[in-house]
């Protein structure tokens, strides 16, 4: 309990989820993994960005630094930093011989004092020693400014960043995968000076790499500040798989910082490793006769920073959402078919999802046009209006991608897009697409916000906002939310849902600060009757809920997406375009909703 409440060990989920972790549709590992998205990922893994085709190559990075060790000995601290960063990547499935380092230093002002001069020098010698012993080079670094303010000094700081590449499908994620598995410690030796025996360290790396190549390792964790205890606790969180420590007495301390050592989960027994224990179906950690429940530990783990970076909001008295089901399938057909439907993607200042969205449409045979809206001068605006009208008249689908148009200012998101589309020439072109050619429109996140401000959803036409019009407003938690959520298909009354059935559940990335859907009872009744409520946020049991984090913004009736009355226009908050092979692989679930395929196939 003391360990999990330490500021260096406790949950930082409320801070981390303020940042968009899925942008670019290349995220291999989410910051938090498992069914419950609670196991922290000690490394970053993302696919190398490519404009055409798809790659399996991922860039993987991890850092190492312990200020308490560095304060006692900058030399030892730098060695530990290098070793920790490399060990994290070996645990992730990379080969240590193919890694590179970059170092960042931050030290107190020297004030011409020899002891102060000696700290950065000792740290650099420590980092150099570790590099020479392991045969790895630092390819860059950063010499930071003074770490002194008046009489306050930073601790001696040398942070090591290790980086390498790996097949995304080969990356090992740290959450326990199954009850009944063995958990072993592959331990590095240390000498009389409390420095790693580098020959032993290399054997640890080579042993883990061999087990990875054989497919033996199901999950792994590089031992750090919190020792084996931290590793077991955090590996258990993601899927709430319990752990029973081996009753036999061992020669190691559960809380010792065995830098360079790796904890691994396997389905079979292995040699040359120390059995630490076994995973269990009981959501608790057991050491001998002492048992502590995971939920109790999680509550303590989340508490230290809960007021600073909250992960939930105070409970509000709200009606439990209804489970909507509208089974009537859309039978709409276009006025004319197209072998290669043309999709128009207007790109406004702040749009950031156009590449991911275009890739999904092109994957299923569409031709995309990314149209950049110029707004620096009145002539650029006029030219954009004129050429956008032509582009709309030459397209079958208008897609409004996600992003932060105009920085979501002034007074809320999507307003610049909506204002631009209210230009009479553009409005008429949109109307021709929808009514004369039976075209489609799709808006995701920022695009959904624009569609709803235009009235295209739920009304099916561009109109002025009325007091009773639904809207999207600030998340209940008062900040940006980035995570994976579950959504349930509530209606298939839209061409966009041709490949879905009512009740299908998908795991979708969300990333927004203003995603809370608000509407009055009369509007909700109309949406329900027409089958316009297309998706709802649901909990792990598949039930619509107002509870965070399952309903990440507090949307009424747990509504995630709605359509126009005829279903041709779809607006939704979840980023359905952020999918691909080995993407967000540490969070389970069906992730491809096939809405892009359905949109393209509608015209064939």
Residue 247 has pLDDT above 80, yes or no: no
At 438-464, the pLDDT tens digits run 999 999 999 999 999 999 999 999 999
For residue 486, what pLDDT is reported?
A: 98
Average pLDDT over residues 134-143: 84
For residue 412, what pLDDT is reported?
A: 64
Nearest to 413 by CA among 444, 442, 443, 446: 446
For residue 533, what pLDDT is reported?
A: 98
As a CATH number, domain 342-601 is 3.40.50.880
For residue 468, what pLDDT is reported?
A: 86
- What share of the chain has pLDDT > 90, as a percent? 90
Cα dist from 87 to 218, 300, 308, 334, 561, whole Å: 17, 28, 31, 56, 43
Number of H helices, E strands in the chain: 15, 27
Show the tokens assigned to 558.
Answer: 């747990």
3-state secondary structure of 578: coil
For residue 407, what pLDDT is reported?
A: 74
Residue 22 has pLDDT above 90, yes or no: yes
Average pLDDT over residues 355-370: 97
Residue 221 has pLDDT above 90, yes or no: yes
CA distance 56 to 159: 29
Average pLDDT over residues 326-334: 95
Residue 591 binned pLDDT confidence (cut-offs 50, 70, 90) = very high
Query: 505-512 and 481-489 as β-strands: parallel, antiparallel, unpaired?
Result: antiparallel
Residue 26 binned pLDDT confidence (cut-offs 50, 70, 90) = very high
Residue 406 binned pLDDT confidence (cut-offs 50, 70, 90) = confident
Q: Which fold has domain 31-302?
A: 60s Ribosomal Protein L30; Chain: A; (3.30.1330)
For residue 143, what pLDDT is reported?
A: 66
pTM of the model: 0.95
Residue 144 has pLDDT above 80, yes or no: no
Q: Lowest mean pLDDT: which of 318-327, 447-456, 504-513? A: 318-327
Average pLDDT over residues 31-55: 95
Average pLDDT over residues 252-265: 93
Average pLDDT over the chain reads: 95
Average pLDDT over residues 122-151: 89
Average pLDDT over residues 171-197: 97
- Contact present, 537 and 489 (Cβ < 8 Å): no
- Contact present, 85 and 161 (Cβ < 8 Å): yes
Average pLDDT over residues 199-209: 98
For residue 246, what pLDDT is reported?
A: 86
Cα dist from 377 to 380, 384, 424, whole Å: 5, 11, 20
Domain boundaries of the chain, sorted by first residue = 31-302, 342-601
Average pLDDT over residues 100-125: 93
For residue 53, what pLDDT is reported?
A: 84
- Residue 269: CB partners within 8 Å, gap ≥ 6? 182, 275
Q: How far apart are the first and last CA of the chain?
A: 60
At 179-189, the pLDDT tens digits run 999 999 999 99
- Contact present, 235 and 276 (Cβ < 8 Å): no
For residue 245, what pLDDT is reported?
A: 94
Q: Lowest mean pLDDT: which of 11-20, 85-94, 97-106, 408-417? A: 408-417
């Amino acid at each position: 309990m003391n360990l999990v409440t330490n500021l260096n060990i406790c949950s930082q989920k409320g801070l981390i989820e303020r940042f968009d972790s899925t942008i670019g549709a290349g995220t291999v590992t989410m910051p938090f993994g498992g069914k419950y998205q609670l196991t922290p990922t000690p490394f970053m893994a993302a696919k190398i960005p490519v404009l055409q085709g798809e790659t399996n190559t991922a860039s993987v990075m991890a850092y190492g630094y312990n200020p308490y060790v560095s304060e006692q000995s900058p030399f030892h601290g730098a060695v530990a930093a290098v070793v920790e960063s490399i060990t994290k990547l070996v645990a992730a499935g990379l080969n240590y011989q193919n890694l590179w380092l970059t170092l960042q230093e931050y030290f107190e002002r020297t004030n011409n004092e020899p002891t102060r001069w000696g700290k950065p020098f000792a740290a650099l010698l420590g980092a150099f020693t570790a590099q020479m012993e392991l045969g790895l080079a630092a390819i860059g670094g950063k010499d930071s400014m003074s770490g002194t303010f008046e009489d306050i000094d930073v601790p001696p700081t040398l942070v090591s960043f290790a980086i390498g590449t790996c097949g995304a499908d080969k990356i090992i994620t740290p959450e326990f995968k199954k009850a009944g598995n063995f958990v072993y410690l592959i331990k590095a030796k240390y000498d009389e000076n409390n420095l790693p025996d580098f020959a032993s360290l290399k054997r640890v790396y080579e042993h883990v790499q061999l087990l990875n190549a054989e497919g033996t390792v199901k999950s792994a964790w590089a031992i750090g500040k919190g020792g084996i205890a931290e590793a077991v606790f955090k590996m258990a969180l993601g899927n709430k798989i319990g752990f029973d420590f081996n009753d036999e007495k061992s020669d190691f301390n559960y809380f010792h910082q065995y830098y360079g050592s790796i904890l691994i989960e396997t389905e079979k027994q292995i040699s040359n490793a120390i059995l630490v224990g076994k995973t269990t179906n009981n959501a608790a950690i057991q050491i001998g006769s002492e048992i502590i429940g995971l939920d109790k530990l999680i509550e303590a783990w989340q508490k230290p920073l809960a007021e600073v970076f909250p992960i939930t909001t105070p409970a509000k008295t709200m009606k439990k959402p209804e489970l909507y089901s509208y089974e009537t399938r859309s039978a709409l057909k276009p006025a004319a078919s197209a072998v290669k439907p043309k999709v128009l993607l207007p790109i406004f200042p702040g749009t950031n999802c156009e590449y991911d969205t275009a890739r999904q449409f092109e994957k299923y045979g569409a031709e995309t046009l990314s149209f950049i809206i110029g707004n620096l001068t009145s002539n650029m605006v006029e030219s954009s209006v004129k050429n956008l009208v032509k582009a709309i008249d030459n397209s079958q689908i208008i897609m409004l991608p996600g992003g932060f148009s105009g920085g979501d200012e002034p007074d809320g998101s999507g307003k610049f897009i909506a204002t631009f589309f209210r230009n009479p020439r553009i409005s008429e072109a949109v109307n021709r697409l929808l009514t004369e050619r039976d075209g489609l429109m799709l808006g995701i996140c920022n695009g959904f916000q624009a569609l709803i401000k235009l009235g295209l959803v739920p009304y099916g036409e561009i109109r002025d906002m009325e007091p009773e019009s639904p809207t999207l407003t600030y998340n209940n938690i008062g900040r940006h939310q980035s995570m994976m959520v579950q959504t349930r298909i509530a209606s298939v009354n839209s061409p966009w849902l041709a490949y879905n059935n009512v009740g299908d559940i998908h795991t979708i990335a969300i990333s927004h600060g203003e995603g809370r859907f608000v509407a009055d009872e009369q509007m909700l009744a109309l949406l329900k009757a027409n089958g316009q409520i297309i998706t709802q946020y649901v909990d792990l049991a598949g039930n619509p809920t107002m509870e965070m984090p399952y309903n990440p913004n507090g949307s009424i009736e747990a509504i995630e997406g709605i359509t126009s009355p005829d279903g041709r226009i779809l607006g939704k908050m979840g980023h359905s375009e952020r999918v691909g092979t080995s993407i967000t692989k540490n969070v389970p679930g069906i992730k491809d909703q096939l809405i892009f395929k359905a949109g393209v196939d509608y015209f064939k």
